Chains A and B, each alone.
Chain A
Amino acid sequence: MVSPIIGSSEVKPIIAFHEVSKWYGNVIGINKLTLEIMPGVCGLLGPNGAGKSTLLQLATGQLRASQGRVEVLGERAWNNPHLNRFIGLCPEQDALYEWMTGQQFIQCCAQLAGLNARAAKAKADELIETVGMTPYRHRVVRGYSKGMRQRIKLAQALVNDPKVLFLDEPMTGTDPVARRDLLEIIRALANQGKTIVVSSHVLYEVQTLTPNVILMNHGRLVAQGDIRQIRDLMDKHPHRIVLVGRQCRQLAAELLDYPDVVGLRLGADGASVMLETLRPDDFYARLPSLATGHPWSIDEVFSEDDNLDAVFHYLVDQ
Chain B
Amino acid sequence: MTPNPVPVQQLPAKTPQTAGKADVSLARSCWTLYRLSLGQHRHGRRWIGTLALTLLPMLIAIIIRSTDPYAAPGSMEFGLVFMLIPQGLLPLLALVYASGIIQDEQEDQTITYLLVRPIPKWMMYLIKWAAALTAAEILAMAAIVLTYAAIFCGTHGASGSFIHLAERCLVACTVHGLAILAYCGIFGLMGLVTQRVLVIGILYTALFEGLFANTPFNLRMITVIYYARLLIYRLLPHHAKPGLRVHSTTANTWKFITAGDPNLKLYPHNWVCVTVLLSTAIFTSALAGWICSNREFYVKTPNKTD
Contact = CB atoms under 8 A, between A and B. Distances in A.
A84 B116 CA distance: 6
A53 B4 contact: no
Contacts of B117: 81, 84, 109, 112-113
Interface string B104-129: 00001110111111111100000000
A87 interface: yes
A189 B33 CA distance: 28
A188 B305 CA distance: 31
Given A49-B305, A49-B306, A84 B118 contact: yes
B161 interface: no
A148 B25 contact: no
Interface string B9-30: 1111010011101011110110
A115 B297 contact: no
B46 interface: no
A112 B294 CA distance: 21
Interface string A129-141: 1111111100000
Interface string A167-187: 010001011011001001100
B260 interface: no
A161 B19 contact: yes
Contacts, number: 171
A85 B108 CA distance: 24
Interface string B283-306: 000000000011011111111111
Contacts of A81: 117-121
Nearest to B43: A99
B3 interface: yes
A123 B2 contact: no
Nearest to B24: A114
B1 interface: yes
A211 B224 CA distance: 63
A48 B306 contact: yes
A64 interface: yes
Interface in B68-114: 108-110, 112-114
Given A112-B32, A113-B24, A132 B6 contact: yes
A62 B296 contact: yes
B28 A111 contact: yes
B7 interface: yes
B6 A112 contact: no
A315 interface: no
Contacts of A54: 306
Nearest to B42: A99
B109 A95 contact: yes
A195 B254 CA distance: 66
B8 interface: yes
B118 A82 contact: yes
Determine the main DSSP class of B at the interface with A.
loop
A130 B300 contact: no
A146 B4 CA distance: 11
Interface in A53-106: 53-54, 60-64, 79, 81-82, 84-85, 87-89, 91-97, 99
B30 to A, nearest CB: 9
B29 A93 contact: no
Nearest to B2: A175
A184 to B, nearest CB: 5
A189 B11 contact: yes
A108 B116 contact: no
Given A53-B306, A88-B116, A119-B17, A177 B108 contact: no
B36 interface: yes
B3 A178 contact: yes
Given A116-B23, A174-B3, A299-B2, A63 B9 contact: no
Given A62-B297, A114-B118, A29 B306 contact: yes
Nearest to A52: B306
A8 to B, nearest CB: 15
A93 B109 contact: yes
B24 A91 contact: no
A122 B17 contact: yes
A289 B5 CA distance: 13
Contacts of A200: none
A314 B139 CA distance: 62
B158 to A, nearest CB: 47
Contacts of A272: none
A146 B19 CA distance: 30
B121 A130 contact: no
B110 A96 contact: yes
A51 B306 CA distance: 5
Nearest to A135: B4
A132 B8 contact: yes
Given A53-B306, A111-B29, A112-B32, A87 B6 contact: no
Given A79-B121, A81-B118, A184 B304 contact: no
B113 A109 contact: yes
A129 B8 CA distance: 8
A53 B301 contact: yes
17 contacts: A49-B304, A51-B306, A53-B301, A81-B118, A84-B117, A84-B118, A94-B302, A96-B110, A108-B32, A112-B29, A132-B8, A132-B9, A133-B4, A156-B113, A161-B18, A177-B3, A297-B2
Given A81-B120, A126-B12, 7 more contacts: A60-B115, A79-B121, A94-B302, A114-B23, A114-B24, A134-B6, A181-B8
- The 7 residue pairs across chains A and B that have the minimum distance between CB atoms: A114-B24, A147-B3, A95-B109, A111-B32, A132-B6, A48-B304, A93-B109
Interface of B: 1-12, 14, 17-19, 21, 23-26, 28-29, 32-33, 36, 39-40, 43, 108-110, 112-121, 293-294, 296-306
